[in-house]
């Protein structure tokens, strides 16, 4: 009797004859997706599957981040800020998942990783075209990165498109200008293929938004959403740094970088510099304690 009560009966309406029907596995192409993990260690090391799945799921989330960044920029160009913020909010949630994922990889000990690391050759997260595309879309452009993908036409095309396209911040600042605020022409006319550099003349514009939130509420909210995106990105970078430190110490990366030192330098990069500089300016002449 106890066993019968611990069994959930199938409801009569549940479809169990799946012949010639769209199925869960078919819709998601699970045969191909779940068959895409190919460990290279011989004999196969148990923890290599963790390493592969960690990076594959990251790439899936990055694919969605790129899609949301694409749409957010399009909506800003169409003066639809509210819709753009919806897509930015989704990006923030994805970033949180990506950051939390590092805790799974952090269970890989140095001893375990060392047993299959040499089998990875020169493959490295440095070579992730989607990660580079996200960085380009947010403003950290580097023309030299295009050369990394010169032998892969599809990846080169993806990154070249992002290289030549206005960044999320470019589109936002153009929107701000269309709302009547005096965004410097040097920003509006800048070569979007170059990495974004801080413009001192923009800081008073951002300060106007922050010091008069009732008059500029939507812009005020948007600025904070962008700060959230950057903070989340930095949290992700830092968690990556700490996971690498924990797993390989100060060894060089498989892709040839200096490893931890290379990742550490990335923490000094910023996508939306004026949104941080303005914090120093606001209330600078007042006594404020924290």
For residue 173, how many C-alpha atoms fall within 13 Å in the half-sphere facing its CB?
A: 30
Residue spans per domain, the chain: 43-249+259-267
The pLDDT of 20-43, averaged and rounded, is: 95
pLDDT score recorded for residue 256: 66
**CA atoms of 107 and 243, how far apart (whole Å):** 9
Q: Could you tell me which residues are annotated as the binding site?
A: 51-55, 113, 117, 240, 254
Q: Could you tell me which residues are annotated as the binding site for heme?
A: 240
pLDDT score recorded for residue 247: 87
Instruction: Note the residue count of the chain.
Output: 290
Q: Is the pLDDT of residue 220 over 60?
A: yes
Is the domain spanning 43-249+259-267 CATH 2.30.29.30? The answer is: no
> Does residue 271 contact residue 232 with C-beta atoms inside 8 Å?
no
> Does residue 173 contact residue 183 with C-beta atoms inside 8 Å?
yes
> Does residue 75 contact residue 83 with C-beta atoms inside 8 Å?
yes
75: nearest Cα among 91, 63, 59: 91
The pLDDT of 224-239, averaged and rounded, is: 96
Tokens of 189: 């006319």
Which are the contacts of 141, defined by CB distance < 8 A and separation ≥ 6? Answer: 135, 163, 167, 193, 194, 195, 196
The pLDDT of 255-262, averaged and rounded, is: 72
170: nearest Cα among 92, 65, 93, 84: 84
Helices 217-248, 168-178: inter-axial angle, 10-degree rounding = 170
pLDDT score recorded for residue 178: 98
Q: Is the pLDDT of residue 66 over 90?
A: yes
Q: Is the pLDDT of residue 206 over 80?
A: yes
Whole-model pTM: value is: 0.91
- Residue 197 CB burial class (10 angstroms; 0-12, 13-18, ≥19): exposed
Q: Could you tell me which residues are annotated as the binding site for substrate?
A: 51-55, 113, 117, 254
Query: With pLDDT > 90 as the criterion, what percentage of the chain qualifies?
Result: 78
Q: Which position has the higher pLDDT, 268 or 97? A: 97
pLDDT in tens, 123-134: 888 899 999 999
Supply the DSSP string of the chain, one letter for each residue.
-HHHHTSPPPPTTS----TTS--HHHHTTHHHHHT------SSPPTTHHHHHHHHHHHHHHHHHHHHHHHHHHHHHHTT-HHHHHHHHHHHHHHHHHHHHHHHHHTTS-HHHHHTTGGGGTT--GGG-HHHHHHHHHHT---GGGGGGGTT-HHHHHHHHHHHHSPPHHHHHHHHHHHTT----HHHHTS-TTSPP---GGGHHHHHHHHH-TTTTHHHHHHHHHHHHHHHHHHHHHHHHHHHHHHHHTTPPPTTSS-THHHHHHHTT--S-HHHHHHHHHTTTTS----
The pLDDT of 224-247, averaged and rounded, is: 94
Which are the contacts of 54, defined by CB distance < 8 A and separation ≥ 6? Answer: 101, 104, 105
């Amino acid at each position: 009797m106890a066993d019968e009560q611990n069994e959930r009966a199938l409801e009569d309406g549940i479809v169990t004859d799946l012949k010639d029907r769209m199925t869960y596995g078919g819709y998601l192409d699970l045969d191909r997706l779940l068959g895409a993990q190919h460990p290279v260690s011989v004999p196969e090391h148990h923890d290599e599957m963790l390493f592969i799945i960690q990076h594959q799921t990251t790439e899936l989330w990055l694919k969605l981040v790129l899609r949301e960044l694409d749409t957010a920029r399009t909506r800003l160009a169409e003066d639809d800020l509210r819709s753009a913020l919806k897509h930015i909010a989704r990006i923030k949630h994805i970033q949180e998942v990506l950051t939390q994922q590092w805790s799974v990889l952090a269970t890989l000990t140095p001893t375990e990783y060392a047993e299959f690391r040499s089998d990875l050759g020169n493959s490295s997260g440095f070579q992730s075209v989607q990660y580079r595309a996200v960085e380009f879309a947010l403003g950290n452009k580097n023309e030299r990165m295009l050369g990394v993908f010169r032998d892969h036409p599809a990846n080169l095309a993806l990154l070249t498109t992002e290289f030549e396209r206005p960044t999320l911040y470019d589109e936002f600042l153009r929107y701000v200008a269309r709302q009547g605020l005096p965004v410097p022409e040097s920003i509006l006319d800048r070569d979007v293929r170059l990495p974004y550099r801080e413009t001192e003349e923009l800081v008073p514009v951002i300060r106007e938004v922050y010091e008069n939130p009732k008059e500029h509420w939507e812009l005020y909210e948007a600025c904070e959403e962008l700060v959230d995106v950057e903070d989340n990105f930095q949290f992700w970078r830092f968690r990556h740094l700490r996971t690498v430190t924990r797993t390989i110490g100060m060894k060089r990366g498989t892709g040839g970088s200096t490893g931890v030192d290379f990742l550490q330098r990335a923490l000094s990069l910023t996508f939306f510099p004026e949104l941080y500089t303005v914090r120093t300016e606001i209330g600078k002449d007042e006594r404020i304690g924290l």
